[in-house]
């Protein structure tokens, strides 16, 4: 599966992404590329692959980005190769991306593998409080994120699953439940047909 987590800044998608990978370490994380400078403590190749604008544009033009968009004056995108490698190996991949990236992946040739989750804040006042509490951005940056949040929230209905992050522990449990349920879909259990055939053979042997 390609598990897409989206939300307005501050609603909790990155925290939920980290929790999900701790809950199931087999889930791979799609490291996005960006042209924004690293924040204190961020490591190239871990949180993001940090590229110059020219390098990013060259990757996009060459078709090596699965999706990309400009957000707050910087480019963000998903390198295609690691995602295709994970799919070939039968591994689930997690994407911490905005609605634009999610929309592009859902409209790509990988759409049938997508499970999309949108995270809503409990209120706009709480969203702003969380942004300020992070202590990562200047006041003018926070103001810009708040202005953009209304547009981001307007895309909630495009997602398969929507949860309200009133409490991070409860939200984490809900994300676990979504992933568990999606893995149990009939179409995502490749050995299921053969298993049922085996059950039918047992019936036949008992009747013989």
49: tokens are: 């692959």
Percent of the chain residues topping a pLDDT of 90: 82
Task: Count Cβ atoms below 10 Å from residue 201 Cβ, excluding itself.
Answer: 10
Q: What is the CATH number of domain 2-189?
A: 3.40.50.300
Provide φ and ψ at 23, rounded to 5°: -65, -40
% of the chain with per-residue pLDDT over 70:
100
Of all helices (H) and strands (E), which one includes residue 164? strand 161-164
How many residues are present in the chain? 208
CA angle 86, 71, 53 (to 5 degrees): 75
Give the residue extent of every domain in the chain: 2-189
Which residues is 78 bridged to in the sheet? 67
pTM higher than 0.75 for the full model?
A: yes
Confidence at residue 137, expressed as pLDDT on a 0 to 100 scale: 80
């Amino acid at each position: 599966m390609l598990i897409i987590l989206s939300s307005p800044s501050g609603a909790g998608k990155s925290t939920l992404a980290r929790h999900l990978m701790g809950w199931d370490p087999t889930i791979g994380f799609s490291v996005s590329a960006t042209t924004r400078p690293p924040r204190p403590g961020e490591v190239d190749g871990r949180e993001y692959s940090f590229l110059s604008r020219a390098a990013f544009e060259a990757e996009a033009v060459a078709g090596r980005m699965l999706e990309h968009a400009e957000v707050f004056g910087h480019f963000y995108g998903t390198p295609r190769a690691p995602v295709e490698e994970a799919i070939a190996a039968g591994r689930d991949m997690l994407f911490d991306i905005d609605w634009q990236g999610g929309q592009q992946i859902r409209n790509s040739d990988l759409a049938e593998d997508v499970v999309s989750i949108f995270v809503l804040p409990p209120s706009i006042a709480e969203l702003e409080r969380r942004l300020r509490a992070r202590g990562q951005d200047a006041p003018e940056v926070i103001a810009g994120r708040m202005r953009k949040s209304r547009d981001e929230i307007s895309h909630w209905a495009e997602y398969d699953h929507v949860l309200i992050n009133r409490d991070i522990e409860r939200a984490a449990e809900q994300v676990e439940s979504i992933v568990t349920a999606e893995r149990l879909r009939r179409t995502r259990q490749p050995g299921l047909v053969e298993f049922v055939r085996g059950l039918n053979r047992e019936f036949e042997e008992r009747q013989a």
